[in-house]
Amino acid sequence: MKTILLRCKMFLLLICLLYINASAQNTAAVTGTVMNENGEMLQGVTVKASNNAKENYTTITNEKGLFSFSQLKSGESYTFTASYIGYEDAVNNVTVNASGNNSVLIRLKPANNALNEVVVIGYGTQKKRNSYRCYHNCESKRF
């Protein structure tokens, strides 16, 4: 009876170890770089990784333009979308390899519809005669 119980415990332990090993191999890391047309690294770019299973992961680039995802499923195809103010969104499709050699290079192009206006919003009210600030209407050509 003790040997049967010991064999059952050993079998369950073996099953658990195999499951942990198999689940650890299902994930892979993906690293990448985001740069502009001139090859300059861009800091603070939002990078989103999404797949067909509706899983979304989001990160931002560091000061060197680098980003990293560590828990993506290997063998799956992901869509990487990079967005940054003043640039068009860039989309790359990448299949994650289990080998771990997963790197993505994303190049952002300046947006044609650059910011035309700057809107400053203030809260509160006061009479114009009590204000000693300058009021002026500026066009974007002046900037």
The pLDDT tens digits for 9-26 are 666 666 755 565 555 557
Provide the pLDDT for residue 117: 58
Within-domain flag for 33: yes
| Residue 32: closest CA among 78, 73, 88, 75 | 78
The pLDDT tens digits for 45-59 are 999 999 887 889 999
Within-domain flag for 116: no
Count: domains in the chain: 1
CATH number of the structural domain spanning residue 77? 2.60.40.10
Provide the pLDDT for residue 114: 55
Nearest-angstrom CA–CA distance, 106 and 37? 10
Provide the pLDDT for residue 141: 64
Within-domain flag for 120: no
> What is the extent of the structural domain holding 92?
27-108
Within-domain flag for 97: yes
Q: Which residues of the chain have pLDDT under 50?
A: none
Provide the pLDDT for residue 73: 87
Provide the pLDDT for residue 75: 86
